[in-house]
Amino acid sequence: MKKLLMGVAALALVSCSDVQTNTKASKTTEPTIVEAQAFVDAAEKKMSELGEYGAKIFWVNANFITEDTDWLATKVGAEYTKLGVDLANDAKRFNDLDLPPELARKMKFLKISLTLPAPSKVEGAAEELSEISTWLGSTYAKGQIEMGGVMVPRTDLEEMMGTVRDPEILQEMWTKWRKVSVPMAPKYSRLVEIGNEGATELGFSDLGELWLSGYDMPADEMAAEVDRLWGQVKPLYEQLHCYVRNGLNEQYGDDVQPTTWPIRADLLGNMWAQNWGDIYPLVAPKNSGEVGYDITELLKKQNYTAVKMAETGEDFFSSLGLAELPDTFWKRSLFTKPKDRDVVCHASAWNLDGQEDIRIKMCTKINASDFQTMHHELGHNYYQRAYKDQPVLFRSGAHDGFHEAIGDFISLSITPKYLADIGLITEDMIPNADADTGLLLNAALDKIAFLPFAYMMDNWRWQVFAGEITPEEYNQGWWDLRTKYQGIIPPGGERPADAFDPGAKYHIPGNTPYLRYFLSFVMQFQFHEAACKMSGWEGPLHRCSIYGSDIVGEKFQKMLEMGQSQPWPDALEAFTGTREMDGSAIISYFEPLISYLEEENKDSDCGW
84, 114 contact by CB (below 8 A): yes
Q: 261 to 280, contacts with ligand X8Z by CB under 6 A?
A: 274
- Out of 333, 348, 367, 437, which residue is the one contacting ligand X8Z (CB under 6 A)? 348
Q: How far is the CB of 341 from Zn ion (least distance, A)?
A: 24
Q: 14 to 53, contacts with ligand X8Z by CB under 6 A?
A: none
Q: How far is the CB of 90 from ligand X8Z (least distance, A)?
A: 31
- Out of 347, 456, 499, 519, which residue is the one contacting ligand X8Z (CB under 6 A)? 347
Decide: helix, strand or coil at residue 147.
strand
Query: What's the DSSP call for residue 546?
Result: -
Q: How far is the CB of 380 from Zn ion (least distance, A)?
A: 6
Binding partner at 373 among ligand X8Z, Zn ion, none, C-beta below 5 to 8 Å by kind: ligand X8Z
Q: How far is the CB of 321 from ligand X8Z (least distance, A)?
A: 25
Q: What distances in angstroms separate CA 322 from CA 88, 315, 528, 558, 578, one per listed residue?
A: 36, 9, 17, 11, 24
Residue sitting closest to ligand X8Z (CB):
347
Distance, in Å, from the CA atom of 570 to the CA atom of 568, rounded to the nearest integer, reads 5
List the catalytic residues. Answer: 377, 507
At 250, the amino acid letter reads E
Distance, in Å, from the CA atom of 476 to the CA atom of 223, rounded to the nearest integer, reads 23
Q: 395 to 424, contacts with Zn ion by CB under 5 A?
A: 404
SS3 content of the chain, % helix, strand, coil (to 5): 65, 5, 35
Strand partners, 334: 361
Q: How far is the CB of 400 from ligand X8Z (least distance, A)?
A: 10
Q: How far is the CB of 226 from ligand X8Z (least distance, A)?
A: 16
Distance, in Å, from the CA atom of 139 to the CA atom of 344, rounded to the nearest integer, reads 10
CA terminus-to-terminus distance, the chain: 54
Angle between helices 219-252 and 515-534 (to 10 degrees): 90
Tell me which residue of 379, 524, 396, 384 sits closest to 454, measured CA to CA.
524
Distance, in Å, from the CA atom of 234 to the CA atom of 241, rounded to the nearest integer, reads 10
String marking each residue 346-385 x if it binds Zn ion according to CB under 5 A: ----------------------------------------
Q: How far is the CB of 404 from Zn ion (least distance, A)?
A: 5
Q: How far is the CB of 268 from ligand X8Z (least distance, A)?
A: 14
Q: How many CB atoms lie within 10 A of CB 302?
A: 11
The phi and psi torsions of 11 (rounded to 5 degrees) equal -65, -45
Nearer to Zn ion, 178 or 507 (CB): 507
Nearer to Zn ion, 352 or 440 (CB): 352
Residue burial 271-292, b: 16+ Cβ < 10 Å; e: rest? bbbbbbbbbbebbebeeeeebe
The phi and psi torsions of 19 (rounded to 5 degrees) equal -90, 55
Binding partner at 517 among Zn ion, ligand X8Z, none, C-beta below 5 to 8 Å by kind: ligand X8Z
Distance, in Å, from the CA atom of 264 to the CA atom of 262, rounded to the nearest integer, reads 7
> With the C-alpha atoms ordered 225, 226, 229, 234, is the resulting torsion angle positive or negative?
negative
String marking each residue 361-380 x if it binds ligand X8Z according to CB under 6 A: ------------x--x----
- With residue 348 as reference, give the H or E element that holds it: strand 348-351
Angle CA(211)–CA(215)–CA(216) in degrees, nearest 5?
130
Tell me which residue of 130, 84, 135 sits closest to 111, measured CA to CA.
84
Nearer to ligand X8Z, 296 or 348 (CB): 348
Nearer to ligand X8Z, 110 or 454 (CB): 454
**Nearby residues of 51 by Cβ (< 8 Å), 6 or more positions away:** 80, 354, 392
437, 596 contact by CB (below 8 A): yes
Confirm or reject binding of residue 517 to ligand X8Z (CB under 6 A).
Answer: yes
Decide: helix, strand or coil at residue 377.
helix
Q: How far is the CB of 348 from ligand X8Z (least distance, A)?
A: 6
Distance, in Å, from the CA atom of 507 to the CA atom of 513, rounded to the nearest integer, reads 7
Binding partner at 133 among ligand X8Z, Zn ion, none, C-beta below 5 to 8 Å by kind: none
Q: 539 to 578, contacts with ligand X8Z by CB under 6 A?
A: none
Distance, in Å, from the CA atom of 411 to the CA atom of 318, rounded to the nearest integer, reads 14
Number of residues that bind Zn ion (CB under 5 A): 1
600, 553 contact by CB (below 8 A): no
> With the C-alpha atoms ordered 401, 407, 408, 412, is the resulting torsion angle positive or negative?
positive
Q: How far is the CB of 449 from ligand X8Z (least distance, A)?
A: 12
Residue sitting closest to Zn ion (CB):
404
Query: What's the DSSP call for residue 361?
Result: E
Binding partner at 278 among Zn ion, ligand X8Z, none, C-beta below 5 to 8 Å by kind: none
Distance, in Å, from the CA atom of 208 to the CA atom of 194, rounded to the nearest integer, reads 13
569, 216 contact by CB (below 8 A): yes
Q: Which stretches of the chain bind ligand X8Z, using CB under 6 A? A: 274, 347-348, 373, 376, 517
Q: Which stretches of the chain bind Zn ion, using CB under 5 A? A: 404
